[in-house]
Structure 1
Amino acid sequence: MSTVELNQPVPDFTLPATGDQDVSLSDYRGRKNVVIYFYPKDSTPGCTTEGGDFRDHHDAFEKADTVIFGVSRDGIKSHENFKAKQSFPFELLSDKEETVCKLFDVIKLKKMYGKESLGVERSTFLIDKEGVLRQEWRKVKVAGHVEEVLEAAQGL
């Protein structure tokens, strides 16, 4: 499977999500813009802050006709706990097989404490109502990021 490219349609995918459901990108085609943000791990400081920022701006995203999904390799049980604890008003998708992570090319070699491992690089993607990738943010720094994504969504 190739990876996504700016200004090109994003291939459809389906992942298990919180709320005991599966979410498919095609469910939103013609109806909503979609923000997909990839994050390394549930309940870690940076991921909690980023999710909280999306939560705090959720109403503004809704007004911009945009739905938000968080994606990591954690399982649904972990996602359900994280979502409940942080009161996220959006669904978290589980990509244990890394299918969608690979589609968006967010699995990268990371170094931590001198050790190398493959992990999710914090990244966000904005897909328009027609399913076309309009903007991407890679190697995201959390501070101020959500406001930038919101501004882009409002511009669609």
Structure 2
Amino acid sequence: MKPYIKPDMKFKITPEGTISGTELSEMKFILYVYPKDNTSACTLEANEFADVYEAFKNLGYEIFGISKDTLSSHLKFKAKYELPFELISDTEKELLNALGVMKEKKMYGKTVMGTVRSTFVFDKGLKMIAEYRDIKAPGHAETVLEAVKAFSA
């Protein structure tokens, strides 16, 4: 399996810093990819991950949300919904493209490039142990939590 995240990659992350591939390689984490801050399904998904955040932490996993929104947008979104985890801004779509989540979509009869809602579970060393692509937001966080519990058993 190809490495999606390389140690030399750096990403903008809330509150106002960066996180590197090297830093990510030292942790187990959930990376959930969503299209846009403050949209209905994305807000639902963020809140559902927030609701189970402590359960993931208890299993040794961190959660990160990632979209192509700006850091400024992420800061407002995080504050508005009191999200307990950090959000990664990938305005250049470096990681989003590497993950293969940027796809053509139809919107109002036009073809546009859009983000496909997906979630990736990484073990230490940036080893991907599960991926969920083109998912629906309702109930997804709980599905991922149950899978992580099974991995951790």
Q: Using structure 1 for the length normalisation, give the TM-score.
A: 0.90
Q: Write the distance in 2 (CA, Å) between the matches of 1:46 and 1:110.
A: 17
% identity of equivalent residues? 39
**CA offset at residue 29 of structure 1?**
2.9
Matches within 5 A, 1:128-139: 128-139=123-134
Matches within 5 A, 1:1-150: 5=1, 10-12=5-7, 13-30=9-26, 32-150=27-145
Equivalent residue of 1:26, what SS?
Answer: helix
Amino acid at match of 1:35: I
Shift in alpha-carbon separation, 1:44–1:66, aligned structure 2, 3 A = same
Amino acid at match of 2:61: T
**CA offset at residue 145 of structure 1?**
0.8
Q: Is the 8 A contact 2:4 2:98 kept in 1?
A: no
Q: Write the distance in 2 (CA, Å) between the matches of 1:9 and 1:74.
A: 20
Q: Which runs of 5+ in 2 are unaligned?
A: none
Shift in alpha-carbon separation, 1:49–1:133, aligned structure 2, 3 A = same
**CA offset at residue 114 of structure 1?**
1.3
Give the structure with the larger helix fraction: 2
**CA offset at residue 152 of structure 1?**
2.1
Q: Deviations over 1:70-126 (max 9, x none)?
A: 111110110000000011001111101000001101000011221210011001000
Q: Is the 8 A contact 2:106 2:112 kept in 1?
A: yes
| Number of equivalenced pairs | 150
Shift in alpha-carbon separation, 1:83–1:9, aligned structure 2, 3 A = closer
CA RMSD of aligned residues (A): 1.6
- Structure 1 stretches of 4+ with a deviation exceeding 4 A read none
Q: Using structure 2 for the length normalisation, give the TM-score.
A: 0.91
